[in-house]
Amino acid sequence: MTSETITADAAGTWKLGDLTVSRIGFGAMRLTGSAAFHLGTPSDRQRSITVLRRAVELGVDHIDTAAFYFSQLRSANELINSALSPYPDDLLIATKVGPYRDYHGEWGTSARPDQLRGHVEENLRQLGRDHLDLVYLRRMRQESVAEHFGALAELREAGLVRHLGLSDIEPRHLAEAQEIAPVVSVQNRYGLGDRAPATGEVLRLCGEQGIAFVPFFAVAGQGGARGATTAHDAEVLAVARAHDASPAQVRLAWTLHQGPHVLAIPGTGNPDHLAENIAAGALCLTDDELERLNALHRAAD
């Protein structure tokens, strides 16, 4: 499929609270280097800036980032600020708090509730904003999210945060958070043949309640933070050939076909891959293709 002229509009839209976004957005993690975080080779700064600006030109209005997305020489938030500030009025920038890293790039334990304001403010400083459109609480194996989510709800009341989301959760955590403040979006690991055990139920609940479901590693699959998988099943390759598409595009299209509330945030530091990812929003899978891919997904349990 030709990708150069296809824009994010092809995937349709969804409403995150009072903010309407295209269902295919952009994840910023891979802007910082050849692999996640401090691993691999630092990215070329100008190339990363070019990717961000091109994403907006192609209609992307939803960028997912975090203050802990940085490598030896690059910070995703700083790149976003340099490339896109002053920001378009219709651009939603989502970030997440909970995990954190020190200046050497080493991971700390989960942030305490009383530390979350400082983490939100760090994102604000790096991005050059006076409020954050959407902040996810990334659960770090806590049994309860109430105390942490309550701290973010206070920041929402103070005007530092516009909307709240949850990440890496089970259904009980969604219900717990909703007793405190509205949840507009959930991020869980999910992709063709790869998902957390409780994610299917979370996906269903989000659809029933009008909450966006934003999977991470939808393209990377088992590669996770290391990068996109190169091991594709025969069914994925067959569907890709039928549409003159790449396996990554098929994976993204399958993800978007899981419900109108499902968004995609594929990340890349490569301008060509960016155009391919966005074009996946225009790939329409047949009922037969969907059933074959669904069977592949079920078989991975």
Task: Give the integer Cα–Cα distance in Å for 279 and 26.
Answer: 12
CB 93 within 8 A of CB 129: yes
Tally of domains within the chain: 1
Q: How far apart are CA 215 and CA 203, in angstroms?
A: 9
Q: Give me the pLDDT at residue 64, please.
A: 98
Low-confidence residues of the chain: pLDDT under 70: 1-4, 34-40, 220-231, 301
pLDDT for 221 equals: 53
CA distances to 129, 170, 197, 259, 291 from 201, rounded to whole Å, are 35, 8, 9, 13, 19
Task: Answer whether residue 2 is part of any domain.
Answer: no
DSSP states of 150-177: HHHHHHHHTTSEEEEEEES--HHHHHHH
Res 144: pLDDT: 97
Flag whether 1 is in a domain. Answer: no
Q: Which CATH number covers residue 190?
A: 3.20.20.100
Strand-pair partners of 95: 135
Q: Is 223 helix (H, G, I), strand (E, B) or coil?
A: helix
Decide if 250 is inside a domain: yes
Provide the pLDDT for residue 224. Answer: 47
Distance, in Å, from the CA atom of 67 to the CA atom of 124, rounded to the nearest integer, reads 9
295 in any annotated domain: yes
CB 145 within 8 A of CB 176: yes
- Cβ atoms within 10 A of the Cβ of 204, count? 14
Do the domain assignments include residue 55?
yes
**64 part of a folded domain:** yes
User: Where in the sequence is the domain holding 117, given as residue range(s)?
Assistant: 8-299
> Would you state the pLDDT for residue 146?
98
Q: 216 is written with which tokens?
A: 């991470």
Tell me which H or E stretch contains 49: helix 45-57
Does residue 3 form part of some domain? Answer: no
Rounded to two decimals, what is the model's pTM? 0.93
100 catalytic per annotation: no
